[in-house]
Amino acid sequence: MLLSRSCDTELDSVQKLLTAAGVRSARINADELAFADLLVDPNNRTACLAGRWLSPTVTWIRHFSARAINGTGAPAYDMFLRDSWQAVADELAMISGAAISPRRPGLLAQLLLAQRHQVAVPRTIVTTDPSRAHAAFQCQRLVIKAADRHFVEAAPGRLSGVFPAIVERRVLASGPCPGPPVIVQEFVEHEAELRVYYVHGHVHAFEVGKDSPATLWEDPGRVSVRSVAPPPAVVAATRLLAAAMSLTYGAFDFLVRDGTPVFLEVNPDGDWHWAERKARTAAVTLAAARMLADLNRELRTGNDTRPFDLLAFLSC
Protein backbone atom coordinates (compact mmCIF):
# COMPACT_ATOMS: atom_id res chain seq x y z
CA MET A 1 0.00 0.00 0.00
CA LEU A 2 1.48 3.33 -1.09
CA LEU A 3 0.28 6.62 0.42
CA SER A 4 1.36 9.79 -1.34
CA ARG A 5 -0.05 12.22 -3.94
CA SER A 6 -1.17 11.81 -7.52
CA CYS A 7 1.88 13.77 -8.75
CA ASP A 8 4.41 11.41 -7.13
CA THR A 9 6.16 10.20 -10.30
CA GLU A 10 8.72 8.26 -8.29
CA LEU A 11 6.06 5.98 -6.89
CA ASP A 12 4.59 5.74 -10.41
CA SER A 13 7.90 4.26 -11.56
CA VAL A 14 8.13 1.95 -8.57
CA GLN A 15 4.57 0.68 -9.11
CA LYS A 16 5.32 -0.13 -12.75
CA LEU A 17 8.31 -2.21 -11.71
CA LEU A 18 6.30 -4.00 -9.04
CA THR A 19 3.53 -4.77 -11.54
CA ALA A 20 6.07 -6.16 -14.00
CA ALA A 21 7.43 -8.36 -11.21
CA GLY A 22 3.95 -9.62 -10.30
CA VAL A 23 3.70 -7.72 -7.02
CA ARG A 24 0.29 -6.09 -6.54
CA SER A 25 0.07 -2.61 -5.04
CA ALA A 26 -2.60 -0.06 -4.15
CA ARG A 27 -2.20 3.71 -4.09
CA ILE A 28 -3.91 6.22 -1.80
CA ASN A 29 -3.34 9.82 -2.85
CA ALA A 30 -4.02 12.62 -0.37
CA ASP A 31 -5.27 14.97 -3.11
CA GLU A 32 -7.99 12.46 -4.13
CA LEU A 33 -9.51 11.77 -0.72
CA ALA A 34 -12.13 14.50 -0.19
CA PHE A 35 -15.03 12.06 -0.69
CA ALA A 36 -13.24 8.70 -0.46
CA ASP A 37 -15.12 5.64 0.85
CA LEU A 38 -13.00 3.85 3.46
CA LEU A 39 -13.51 1.06 5.99
CA VAL A 40 -10.68 -0.26 8.16
CA ASP A 41 -10.96 -3.54 10.07
CA PRO A 42 -7.98 -3.67 12.45
CA ASN A 43 -8.95 -7.11 13.79
CA ASN A 44 -8.51 -8.68 10.35
CA ARG A 45 -5.77 -6.19 9.37
CA THR A 46 -7.70 -5.26 6.23
CA ALA A 47 -9.10 -2.12 4.66
CA CYS A 48 -11.78 -1.50 2.04
CA LEU A 49 -11.15 1.55 -0.14
CA ALA A 50 -13.74 2.46 -2.79
CA GLY A 51 -15.13 -1.08 -2.67
CA ARG A 52 -11.75 -2.81 -2.96
CA TRP A 53 -10.59 -4.94 -0.04
CA LEU A 54 -6.88 -4.66 0.75
CA SER A 55 -4.71 -6.76 3.02
CA PRO A 56 -1.38 -4.91 2.91
CA THR A 57 1.94 -6.55 3.65
CA VAL A 58 3.90 -3.28 3.43
CA THR A 59 2.77 0.33 3.66
CA TRP A 60 5.00 3.19 2.50
CA ILE A 61 3.90 6.71 3.44
CA ARG A 62 5.68 9.52 1.58
CA HIS A 63 4.53 12.98 0.51
CA PHE A 64 1.14 12.22 2.06
CA SER A 65 -0.25 15.38 3.66
CA ALA A 66 -3.86 16.02 4.55
CA ARG A 67 -3.28 19.66 3.59
CA ALA A 68 -3.63 18.47 -0.01
CA ILE A 69 -7.29 17.54 0.54
CA ASN A 70 -9.73 20.01 -0.95
CA GLY A 71 -12.06 21.40 1.67
CA THR A 72 -15.65 22.60 1.72
CA GLY A 73 -14.94 26.21 2.65
CA ALA A 74 -16.06 25.73 6.25
CA PRO A 75 -12.79 26.27 8.22
CA ALA A 76 -13.65 24.23 11.31
CA TYR A 77 -15.04 21.27 9.34
CA ASP A 78 -12.14 21.33 6.87
CA MET A 79 -9.63 21.30 9.70
CA PHE A 80 -11.45 18.34 11.25
CA LEU A 81 -11.58 16.58 7.85
CA ARG A 82 -7.85 16.97 7.24
CA ASP A 83 -6.80 16.10 10.78
CA SER A 84 -8.98 12.98 10.66
CA TRP A 85 -7.48 11.78 7.37
CA GLN A 86 -3.95 12.46 8.60
CA ALA A 87 -4.58 10.40 11.72
CA VAL A 88 -6.13 7.52 9.77
CA ALA A 89 -3.31 7.54 7.21
CA ASP A 90 -0.84 7.02 10.03
CA GLU A 91 -3.00 4.25 11.46
CA LEU A 92 -3.33 2.48 8.09
CA ALA A 93 0.34 1.64 8.32
CA MET A 94 -0.39 -0.25 11.52
CA ILE A 95 -2.45 -2.94 9.76
CA SER A 96 0.52 -3.84 7.57
CA GLY A 97 3.21 -6.33 8.41
CA ALA A 98 5.82 -3.61 7.79
CA ALA A 99 5.58 0.16 7.54
CA ILE A 100 7.93 2.69 5.96
CA SER A 101 6.89 5.94 7.55
CA PRO A 102 8.07 9.55 7.15
CA ARG A 103 7.98 10.03 10.91
CA ARG A 104 11.42 11.18 11.95
CA PRO A 105 13.22 13.04 14.70
CA GLY A 106 13.32 16.82 14.23
CA LEU A 107 16.50 18.36 12.90
CA LEU A 108 17.92 19.17 16.32
CA ALA A 109 17.22 15.62 17.51
CA GLN A 110 18.93 14.28 14.37
CA LEU A 111 22.02 16.38 15.02
CA LEU A 112 22.21 15.40 18.68
CA LEU A 113 21.80 11.74 17.78
CA ALA A 114 24.62 12.06 15.21
CA GLN A 115 26.87 13.65 17.82
CA ARG A 116 26.16 10.84 20.27
CA HIS A 117 27.29 8.41 17.57
CA GLN A 118 30.42 10.49 16.88
CA VAL A 119 29.30 11.68 13.44
CA ALA A 120 30.39 15.26 12.72
CA VAL A 121 27.69 17.97 12.43
CA PRO A 122 27.75 21.76 11.94
CA ARG A 123 27.49 24.02 14.98
CA THR A 124 23.78 24.90 15.18
CA ILE A 125 21.41 27.18 17.06
CA VAL A 126 17.68 27.91 16.84
CA THR A 127 16.57 31.51 17.17
CA THR A 128 13.63 33.82 16.52
CA ASP A 129 16.11 36.65 15.88
CA PRO A 130 18.85 35.74 13.36
CA SER A 131 20.85 38.81 14.35
CA ARG A 132 21.70 37.02 17.60
CA ALA A 133 23.74 34.57 15.56
CA HIS A 134 26.32 37.31 15.07
CA ALA A 135 27.51 36.80 18.64
CA ALA A 136 26.98 33.01 18.69
CA PHE A 137 29.39 32.18 15.86
CA GLN A 138 32.93 33.09 14.86
CA CYS A 139 32.85 31.91 11.23
CA GLN A 140 32.36 34.37 8.36
CA ARG A 141 29.40 32.69 6.68
CA LEU A 142 26.25 31.08 8.05
CA VAL A 143 23.37 28.98 6.71
CA ILE A 144 19.81 29.89 7.70
CA LYS A 145 17.12 27.28 7.12
CA ALA A 146 13.55 26.46 8.16
CA ALA A 147 13.07 24.79 11.53
CA ASP A 148 10.62 22.35 9.91
CA ARG A 149 9.94 21.51 6.25
CA HIS A 150 10.92 24.10 3.68
CA PHE A 151 7.63 23.82 1.77
CA VAL A 152 4.44 25.47 2.99
CA GLU A 153 1.06 24.38 1.58
CA ALA A 154 -1.22 27.30 2.35
CA ALA A 155 -3.95 25.87 0.07
CA PRO A 156 -4.32 22.34 -1.36
CA GLY A 157 -1.78 21.83 -4.13
CA ARG A 158 -0.22 25.29 -3.82
CA LEU A 159 3.28 25.01 -2.39
CA SER A 160 5.48 27.91 -1.36
CA GLY A 161 9.16 27.39 -0.64
CA VAL A 162 11.16 28.75 2.26
CA PHE A 163 14.62 27.67 1.16
CA PRO A 164 17.98 27.71 2.96
CA ALA A 165 20.19 30.74 2.42
CA ILE A 166 23.91 31.41 2.91
CA VAL A 167 24.56 34.79 4.53
CA GLU A 168 27.57 36.73 5.73
CA ARG A 169 27.69 36.74 9.50
CA ARG A 170 28.42 40.46 9.63
CA VAL A 171 25.11 41.38 7.95
CA LEU A 172 23.19 39.80 10.81
CA ALA A 173 24.34 42.42 13.32
CA SER A 174 21.31 44.56 12.49
CA GLY A 175 18.74 41.99 11.49
CA PRO A 176 14.92 42.18 11.39
CA CYS A 177 12.62 42.03 14.41
CA PRO A 178 12.02 38.55 15.90
CA GLY A 179 9.92 36.25 13.73
CA PRO A 180 9.39 32.48 13.34
CA PRO A 181 12.12 30.24 14.80
CA VAL A 182 14.80 29.34 12.28
CA ILE A 183 17.87 27.11 12.23
CA VAL A 184 21.22 28.90 11.97
CA GLN A 185 24.33 26.83 11.25
CA GLU A 186 27.97 27.46 10.55
CA PHE A 187 28.84 27.25 6.86
CA VAL A 188 31.06 24.20 6.49
CA GLU A 189 33.86 24.52 3.94
CA HIS A 190 33.91 21.25 2.04
CA GLU A 191 35.32 19.32 -0.88
CA ALA A 192 32.06 17.63 -1.84
CA GLU A 193 28.33 17.62 -1.17
CA LEU A 194 26.67 14.22 -1.25
CA ARG A 195 23.03 13.14 -1.44
CA VAL A 196 22.99 9.59 -0.12
CA TYR A 197 19.96 7.30 -0.40
CA TYR A 198 19.62 4.54 2.16
CA VAL A 199 17.22 1.89 0.80
CA HIS A 200 16.67 -1.16 3.02
CA GLY A 201 20.37 -1.62 3.77
CA HIS A 202 21.68 -0.47 0.39
CA VAL A 203 23.47 2.87 -0.08
CA HIS A 204 23.46 4.92 -3.30
CA ALA A 205 25.35 8.22 -3.48
CA PHE A 206 25.35 11.25 -5.77
CA GLU A 207 27.76 14.17 -5.74
CA VAL A 208 25.82 17.43 -6.10
CA GLY A 209 27.20 20.74 -7.35
CA LYS A 210 25.22 23.95 -6.98
CA ASP A 211 25.71 27.67 -6.40
CA SER A 212 23.57 27.91 -3.28
CA PRO A 213 21.25 25.69 -1.19
CA ALA A 214 18.19 27.12 -2.97
CA THR A 215 19.48 26.49 -6.52
CA LEU A 216 18.04 22.98 -6.56
CA TRP A 217 14.50 24.43 -6.45
CA GLU A 218 14.95 27.90 -7.97
CA ASP A 219 17.24 27.06 -10.91
CA PRO A 220 17.62 23.27 -11.24
CA GLY A 221 19.33 23.63 -14.62
CA ARG A 222 22.40 24.97 -12.83
CA VAL A 223 22.67 21.92 -10.58
CA SER A 224 25.13 19.18 -11.52
CA VAL A 225 24.77 15.60 -10.29
CA ARG A 226 26.90 12.53 -10.81
CA SER A 227 26.63 9.05 -9.41
CA VAL A 228 29.62 8.19 -7.21
CA ALA A 229 30.88 5.32 -5.12
CA PRO A 230 30.26 6.52 -1.57
CA PRO A 231 33.38 6.74 0.61
CA PRO A 232 33.47 4.04 3.31
CA ALA A 233 33.15 6.67 6.06
CA VAL A 234 29.95 8.00 4.45
CA VAL A 235 28.51 4.49 4.10
CA ALA A 236 29.30 3.75 7.74
CA ALA A 237 27.73 7.03 8.94
CA THR A 238 24.63 6.49 6.79
CA ARG A 239 24.02 2.98 8.06
CA LEU A 240 24.75 3.96 11.65
CA LEU A 241 22.26 6.85 11.59
CA ALA A 242 19.62 4.89 9.66
CA ALA A 243 19.76 2.17 12.31
CA ALA A 244 19.68 4.71 15.14
CA MET A 245 16.55 6.33 13.65
CA SER A 246 14.94 3.00 12.67
CA LEU A 247 14.76 4.08 9.02
CA THR A 248 14.09 1.66 6.18
CA TYR A 249 14.44 4.47 3.63
CA GLY A 250 16.01 7.90 3.92
CA ALA A 251 17.68 10.61 1.82
CA PHE A 252 20.79 11.77 3.71
CA ASP A 253 22.71 14.98 3.09
CA PHE A 254 26.42 15.04 3.88
CA LEU A 255 29.29 17.43 3.28
CA VAL A 256 32.78 15.97 3.02
CA ARG A 257 35.42 18.07 4.80
CA ASP A 258 39.02 16.86 4.80
CA GLY A 259 37.71 13.39 3.99
CA THR A 260 35.32 13.37 6.97
CA PRO A 261 31.53 13.23 6.43
CA VAL A 262 29.58 16.06 8.08
CA PHE A 263 25.93 15.12 8.55
CA LEU A 264 23.37 17.82 7.71
CA GLU A 265 20.00 16.05 7.86
CA VAL A 266 17.92 13.12 6.63
CA ASN A 267 14.57 13.27 4.85
CA PRO A 268 12.63 9.97 5.15
CA ASP A 269 10.51 10.77 2.08
CA GLY A 270 13.24 12.50 0.05
CA ASP A 271 12.88 12.59 -3.75
CA TRP A 272 15.35 10.84 -6.03
CA HIS A 273 14.20 11.32 -9.65
CA TRP A 274 15.96 14.70 -9.90
CA ALA A 275 19.29 13.05 -9.07
CA GLU A 276 18.67 10.01 -11.29
CA ARG A 277 17.71 12.12 -14.30
CA LYS A 278 20.86 14.22 -14.12
CA ALA A 279 23.11 11.25 -13.40
CA ARG A 280 21.38 9.07 -16.04
CA THR A 281 20.71 6.15 -13.76
CA ALA A 282 17.70 4.40 -12.25
CA ALA A 283 19.57 2.85 -9.32
CA VAL A 284 17.38 4.29 -6.56
CA THR A 285 14.10 3.52 -8.37
CA LEU A 286 15.20 -0.10 -8.79
CA ALA A 287 16.35 -0.26 -5.17
CA ALA A 288 13.02 1.13 -3.94
CA ALA A 289 11.05 -1.41 -5.96
CA ARG A 290 13.34 -4.20 -4.78
CA MET A 291 12.86 -3.05 -1.17
CA LEU A 292 9.08 -3.35 -1.42
CA ALA A 293 9.25 -6.65 -3.31
CA ASP A 294 11.63 -8.12 -0.72
CA LEU A 295 9.53 -6.99 2.25
CA ASN A 296 6.35 -8.24 0.58
CA ARG A 297 7.87 -11.67 -0.09
CA GLU A 298 9.35 -11.98 3.40
CA LEU A 299 6.02 -11.21 5.02
CA ARG A 300 4.07 -13.54 2.74
CA THR A 301 6.46 -16.50 3.00
CA GLY A 302 7.41 -15.95 6.62
CA ASN A 303 11.03 -17.08 6.40
CA ASP A 304 12.30 -16.50 2.87
CA THR A 305 14.72 -13.60 3.30
CA ARG A 306 16.69 -14.05 0.07
CA PRO A 307 16.86 -10.72 -1.79
CA PHE A 308 14.69 -10.51 -4.88
CA ASP A 309 16.77 -9.71 -7.99
CA LEU A 310 14.28 -7.35 -9.60
CA LEU A 311 16.70 -6.18 -12.30
CA ALA A 312 17.41 -9.76 -13.35
CA PHE A 313 13.67 -10.55 -13.38
CA LEU A 314 12.91 -7.59 -15.63
CA SER A 315 15.77 -8.53 -17.96
CA CYS A 316 14.32 -11.98 -18.65
What confidence category does residue 231 fall into, taking pLDDT thresholds of 50, 70 and 90? very high
Q: Is residue 171 part of a domain?
A: yes
Q: Per-residue pLDDT for 268 more than 80? A: yes
Please compute the mean of the pLDDT values over residues 302-314 and round it to a whole number.
Answer: 55
Instruction: Indicate if 88 and 6 belong to the same structural domain.
Output: yes
Instruction: Indicate if 128 and 86 belong to the same structural domain.
Output: no
Q: Is residue 305 part of a domain?
A: no
d(CA 24, CA 40): 19
Instruction: Indicate if 97 and 17 belong to the same structural domain.
Output: yes
Parent domain of 163? 123-187
Among 187, 220, 237, residue at a domain's last position: 187
Q: Is residue 152 part of a domain?
A: yes
Q: Is residue 250 part of a domain?
A: no
Q: Is residue 34 part of a domain?
A: yes
Nearest to 263 by CA among 227, 239, 285: 239
Gap between the terminal Cα atoms of the chain: 26
pLDDT, residue 197, reads: 98
In the chain, the percentage of residues whose pLDDT exceeds 70 is 90
Instruction: Indicate if 97 and 175 belong to the same structural domain.
Output: no
- What are 113-151's pLDDT values in tens digits? 999 999 999 999 999 888 888 888 988 999 999 888 766
Among 140, 162, 187, residue at a domain's last position: 187
Q: Is residue 127 part of a domain?
A: yes
Instruction: Indicate if 75 and 136 belong to the same structural domain.
Output: no
Q: Per-residue pLDDT for 285 more than 80? A: yes
pLDDT, residue 73, reads: 86
Nearest to 288 by CA among 7, 10, 5: 10
Q: Which residues are bridge partners to 127 per DSSP?
A: 182
Instruction: Indicate if 98 and 135 belong to the same structural domain.
Output: no
Number of separate domains in the chain = 2
Q: Is residue 299 part of a domain?
A: no
Q: Is residue 164 part of a domain?
A: yes
What confidence category does residue 236 fall into, taking pLDDT thresholds of 50, 70 and 90? very high
Instruction: Indicate if 127 and 98 belong to the same structural domain.
Output: no
**How far is CA 19 from each of CA 13, 47, 56, 313, 314, rounded to the nearest angstrom?**
10, 21, 15, 12, 11
- What are 76-124's pLDDT values in tens digits? 998 998 899 988 888 888 888 899 976 778 899 999 999 999 999 999 9
pLDDT, residue 310, reads: 57
Q: Per-residue pLDDT for 221 more than 80? A: yes
Q: What is the pTM of this model?
A: 0.89
Please say whether the beta carbons of 312 and 289 come within 8 A. no
Instruction: Indicate if 127 and 94 belong to the same structural domain.
Output: no
| Angle subtended at Cα 22 by Cα 17 and Cα 28, rounded to the nearest 5 degrees | 65
What lies within 8 Å, CB to CB, of 294 at 6+ separation is: 200, 307, 308
What confidence category does residue 302 fall into, taking pLDDT thresholds of 50, 70 and 90? low
Among 154, 187, 220, residue at a domain's last position: 187
Instruction: Indicate if 98 and 134 belong to the same structural domain.
Output: no
Nearest to 121 by CA among 2, 264, 295, 3: 264
What lies within 8 Å, CB to CB, of 87 at 6+ separation is: none
| Angle subtended at Cα 113 by Cα 244 and Cα 215, rounded to the nearest 5 degrees | 100
- Distance between alpha carbon 239 and the CA centroid of its chain, in Å? 16
Instruction: Indicate if 7 and 55 belong to the same structural domain.
Output: yes
What lies within 8 Å, CB to CB, of 280 at 6+ separation is: none
pLDDT, residue 196, reads: 98
